[in-house]
Structure 1
């Protein structure tokens, strides 16, 4: 399949406007690797068409005329040995919608997927072009045929320029904003707690004695009918000790 676009005055005007603001990666990465940041991904055959998250379902990934919408801005971040490609409109990541094959469609999902983004061997300084590969495969992103909009997978071939893309810089991440390991934080341990106790002197048990007089006439004992019984009552005092925290 080859990519043939209608060279209408509308498309020419779009291409001209993008060329005036297009920032090539060579100004930022001398080794031609993609630097983490936000980009507009432009097809090299016709710069009037860019990678676009469809406004119809917010899932399909298409080629569409360039505008300044968030659904055409893609954040590139390192993800393992490759890169994640996330749409700024809804933080959805570029991935496959169908099988790994020629014509396979793309979609955006909430989960990051790693892509391989490699510079074309024939890129020159000032115009670096890239192929976006599904990792460890022969398949790359390809622009749609004339009259179409669906970006799809295609087998990589040197003579297929529609599989080449340019990354227009919108903003680059600094070291502070790019993904990195957080600075270790020391855990603050609680200060030791001191306790003060007050000693309570125990009070001894005490006993009380009382005389009880009962009528002993009916219990048949000698004497004048009276007897004295001594009873002892023991009282135990319990003391609670409170511990005060200082």
Structure 2
């Protein structure tokens, strides 16, 4: 079980589907679920902010940051952008080998849509926290 550490790069695998967080190679902006291929677009660098509980998550392939456009609410798509959205990194209460990634100071967390549908290209959104495994992520250091 990996512990997420600052200034470290990880592959994030969805606990429900088994695929990983991928910055689309097609539009280089959409954050989607995809089968693991080892590409830099599937590698995410975590940076802990010096003050407060926030984390910044940056894609190795493009340098874009995992973020949302607009206000947090159910079913908002996640993108790789220049906006340094702050996240809370929290171990899952029921499975401490997994993490939940929440928009800081909210209960909206990273969610593989359609209850974790493993179809490559399935979008990642934020959604209110519930017990679903599609909101849990295993972090494997690169």
Question: Structure 1 stretches (4+) deviating beyond 4 angstroms?
Answer: none
Higher relative contact order (CA 8 A, sep 6+): 2
CA offset digits 1:203-246 (Å, max 9, x no partner) = xxxxxxxxxxxxxxxxxxxxxxxxxxxxxxxxxxxxxxxxxxxx
CA contact (8 A) 2:92 2:98 kept: yes
Match of 1:70 among 29, 36, 40: 40
1:165 equivalent in structure 2: 137
Question: What TM-score does the superposition give when structure 1 sets the normalisation length?
Answer: 0.52
Q: 1:154 aligns with which of 99, 121, 127?
A: 127
Name the CA distance, whole Å, in 2 between partners of 1:161 and 1:107. Answer: 21
1:46 counterpart residue number: 17
Q: Deviations over 1:33-68 (max 9, x none)?
A: x21200000000122x10000111111111111111
Distance across 2 between alignment mates of 1:114 and 1:153: 13
- Deviation at 1:98? 4.3
Contact 2:68–2:85 (CA<8 Å) still a contact in 1?
no
Q: What's the TM-score, normalizing by structure 2?
A: 0.88
CA pair 98-154 structure 1, distance change in 2 beyond 3 A: same
1:22-61 equivalent positions in 2, closer than 5 A: 24-25=1-2, 29=3, 34-36=4-6, 37-47=8-18, 49-61=19-31
For the 8 Å contact 1:84–1:112, the answer to whether it is kept is yes
- SS of residue matched to 1:105: strand
CA distance in structure 2 between the partners assigned to 1:113 and 1:137 by the alignment: 12
Q: Which runs of 5+ in 1 are unaligned?
A: 1-23, 171-246
In structure 1, the partner of 2:110 is 141
What is the CA–CA distance in structure 2 between the aligned matches of 1:153 and 1:78, rounded to whole Å? 20
**Bigger proportion of residues as strand:** 2
CA RMSD of aligned residues (A): 1.5
State the structure with more CA Rg: 1
Q: Displacement of 1:103 after TM fit?
A: 0.7
- Residue by residue over 1:182-209, the C-alpha shift from the partner in whole angstroms, topping out at 9 and shown as x without a partner, is xxxxxxxxxxxxxxxxxxxxxxxxxxxx
> Separation in 1 of the partners of 2:35 and 2:107?
28
The CA deviation at 1:99 is: 3.5
